[in-house]
Amino acid sequence: MENKKGVALMQLCLLGLTFMFYQSLGLGQEEQNSLQTYIVWVEKPVSRNIFSQSHEGLESWYQSFLPETTVNSNEQKSSRIVHAYRNVGTGFAAKLTPEEVKAMEKKQGFVSARPERILPLQTTHTPDFLGLHQGYGLWKQTNYGEGVIIGVLDTGIGAGHPSFSDEGVPPPPARWKGKCEFNATLCNNKLIGAKNFVGSGKGNTTDSPPVDNHGHGTHTSSTAAGNFVAGASVFGEANGTAVGMAPYAHLAMYKVCAGGGCADGDILAALDAAVEDGVDVLSLSLGGESLPFYEDVIAIGAFAAIQKGIFFSCAAGNSGPSYNSLSNEAPWILTVGASTTDRILKSEAQIGDDKNNHFDGKSLSQSEDFDSAVSLPLVYAGSVGNQLSASCKAGSLENVEGKIVLCETGGGVTNIAKGEEVKRAGGAAMILMNQETDGFSTLAESHVLPSTHVSYAAGLQIKSYISSTSSPTAKILFNGTVIGDALAPKVASFSSRGPSSASPGILKPDIIGPGVSILAAWPVAVDQTQSKATFNIISGTSMSTPHLSGIAALLKSSHPDWSPAAIKSAIMTTANVLNLAGKPIVDQRLEPADIFATGAGHVNPSKANDPGLVYDTQPKDYIPYLCGLNYTDQQIQLITKQAVICSQVEAIPEAQLNYPSFSIKIRSNETQSQYYTRTVRNVGPASSTYNLDLLVPHKMGMSVNPQMLTFTEVNQELTFHVEFIAEDGAGKDGVPISQGYLRWFSDKYNVTSPIAVVFEST
């Protein structure tokens, strides 16, 4: 009873503090209810260089846009401002009512305002799988990423985890300006920066370090730059040495996500700080739906980053396998999809008495207490409960005591929650079958009871077996960790697909990397055998993104003079398009994955370090591209932070951007050729000759001039011209997408640009 009284008293105190806070803003009760955070963009006066002023001077100018409050003072106005942006744009985030925003629109210099969005969050073996080996190769050449600073925007970090030990890591570069909000025992030469932007705005007294209460940020950080930790495993599986892609790189965590997601006002504030702090690489495993770039805070912040030479890596999203499902599509961002590795946490479902009647699956929870030798009654969830039971929703199952239950994925229920429902209803184990859209793409997850996740095809056969006999039985067999899936890498079904909605003339995603069943650091123990070195295995483009961020850090260490676009080009033009069996990379159907699933292909770090040629793009080169998107001058200024007059700029079509790939639209009955140019820079031997190799897309004609590139100097640039023309009947044979490649090859290098063609009906 005393405890309940204490909780009630605390709730009353919190309510009282909240009321007093809103009173201090000069707000009545009705206005308090409509108050929300808006991101406001403004235009700096031509006569004043706002960005050369102090932070205080900039914020004072921002305050001039705020409404007059009942209690009118600078202190109350300041408490309205959540974040004042300095580096990523001219604007601020503030607590406002819709009526106040309407009034603000009349003020000189106002550009736009919109409510803050909440964005969702989107390895013991992967270094080996990617060809990174201790003591030689790319790791040795780059000294494991030493001297490079990776900034991660996420849920915080489990400081003190062995993955963030600074053993072997030198002090940060002198240019580093950031700070670490943890105490001195947790900050070190590895974790050099840690800031919390969740609830850290003006008017909020919370000032806590970026502790990770979720796990996501600890996992992504250690994937990008975790140090070597021997004996890592989860439930005894995937045992080995855990290490990130750039183990001697420095880390800076910017906490922008909490239980409810990631507020884009906080994201923008964190990017603002990271640019000023001096990071070299930014890694964001989060994102929302497709937006025009001038409305997308990640695209806006990323442009500010690349202007400072900062490489920017983002998750493609987890909305696959549907087309046009991408996040983070701007061409100055590396957009990363997810693929498998050749490691499988294998389990099997065996039905009936026939040992040959079994189906491969995956599971992280491979219980030693479960007797796999004993057959148990098998039931289909759809026939043992209410109408929601097929997907094993909470409270939907009955009469399953001591049985193995076949559940279907989907239905708005997580796979973990399905297992919890089976256990609640007394089930002994679970077989989880895919929906048709996910095909053969299964996941190893930590369930609360013995489980195996099987394909859609396997699930259909198991359902057929159940309906064919009066007493169906099954066993679940656990096979442990198996290395050697010849079909790896496979594109994960959840990995978002192109084409890009925001800019169809840019091929996205750019690249795929390991994102399925990835072992990395976790802030708390997930099994009883773990002590201080706690790890977890999870999946998503959130996991593939930090792999690419860490690889970019290695390339930055090896080539400090390369621009972000040059690093991206090196990654894309050297990507693998074949699996370990030497066949084209497949998708969740086990059929060749198309170009909107793979982008350029699967990352090959060692080849990316020595690409031969690169397609480079400077920040100013994006302005003609943005004008070509028919953005207004003001919209482009929001992105570039400089005055742009498109009528004085020679706008270009999207596909004319000097990108390492091509994405072409062909309309039905189109007979005119499309002409594009590309410029490549020689970063290989001074004397180099490259010849042309073309795989011309279906129903298309192509010509390239010249067909040979001869270089005599390092960093020499040469330009070539490409013509695309549709053949008769293009797009009328039921094939809406076609793909190919343009490859420059020498005796040492293959520099490949993928080509996507979309046939549109008129």
- Tokens 């108050």 found at: 35
- Tokens 């702090």 found at: 277
The catalytic position among 161, 216, 219, 447 is 216
The catalytic position among 163, 221, 441, 542 is 542
The neighbour count for residue 758, using CB atoms within 10 Å, is: 20
- Lookup: tokens for 295: 């409305």
Identify the pLDDT of residue 54. 65
Which amino acid type is present at position 468?
S
The verdict on whether 216 is a catalytic residue reads yes
Which amino acid type is present at position 275?
V
User: CA 637 → CA 293, 298, 461, 643, 652, distances in Å?
Assistant: 11, 15, 58, 6, 17
The catalytic position among 128, 154, 342, 510 is 154
Identify the pLDDT of residue 24. 37
The radius of gyration of the chain from alpha carbons, rounded to an integer in Å, stands at: 27
Distance CA 629, CA 233 (A): 49
Distance CA 46, CA 232 (A): 57
The verdict on whether 154 is a catalytic residue reads yes
End-to-end CA distance of the chain: 72
- Lookup: tokens for 590: 């086990």
Helix H or strand E segment including 23: helix 2-24
Give mean pLDDT in consecutive 10-residue pieces for the chain, a chain of 762 residues: 33 27 40 75 68 68 78 56 90 91 90 89 73 87 94 96 95 95 92 90 62 94 95 81 95 92 93 97 95 96 97 96 96 98 92 87 84 91 77 90 94 92 95 95 92 96 94 92 92 97 97 96 78 84 97 98 98 97 96 97 98 98 98 96 94 97 89 95 98 96 97 98 92 85 97 95 70
Nearest Cα neighbor of 98 from 187, 36, 174 is 36
Helix (H, G, I), strand (E, B) or coil at 280: coil
Nearest Cα neighbor of 126 from 44, 30, 254, 222 is 222
The verdict on whether 594 is a catalytic residue reads no
User: CA 289 → CA 92, 264, 429, 705, distances in Å?
Assistant: 22, 12, 37, 39
- Lookup: tokens for 201: 């705005």
Distance CA 21, CA 204 (A): 9
The neighbour count for residue 484, using CB atoms within 10 Å, is: 9
Distance CA 386, CA 395 (A): 9
DSSP 8-class letter at 705 = E
**DSSP per residue over 193-227, as a string?**
EEEE-SS-STT-------B-SSSHHHHHHHHHHPP
Distance CA 418, CA 609 (A): 44
- Lookup: tokens for 99: 């009526």
Identify the pLDDT of residue 29. 45
Burial of 421 (0-12, 13-18, 19+ CB in 10 A): buried
User: CA 119 → CA 45, 321, 327, 522, distances in Å?
Assistant: 32, 20, 10, 22
DSSP 8-class letter at 35 = -
Question: Is the CB of residue 546 less than 8 Å from the CB of residue 220?
Answer: yes
Question: Is the CB of residue 404 less than 8 Å from the CB of residue 430?
Answer: yes
The neighbour count for residue 545, using CB atoms within 10 Å, is: 32
Identify the pLDDT of residue 371. 86
DSSP 8-class letter at 175 = T
- Lookup: tokens for 26: 């000069």
pTM (whole model) above 0.85? yes
Distance CA 526, CA 524 (A): 6
Distance CA 20, CA 233 (A): 49
Domains within the chain, CATH numbers bracketed: 36-46+55-67+74-115 (3.30.70), 126-341+490-609 (3.40.50.200), 343-472 (3.50.30.30), 613-617+657-760 (2.60.40.2310)
DSSP 8-class letter at 157 = B
Distance CA 642, CA 626 (A): 13
Nearest Cα neighbor of 351 from 474, 478, 477 is 474
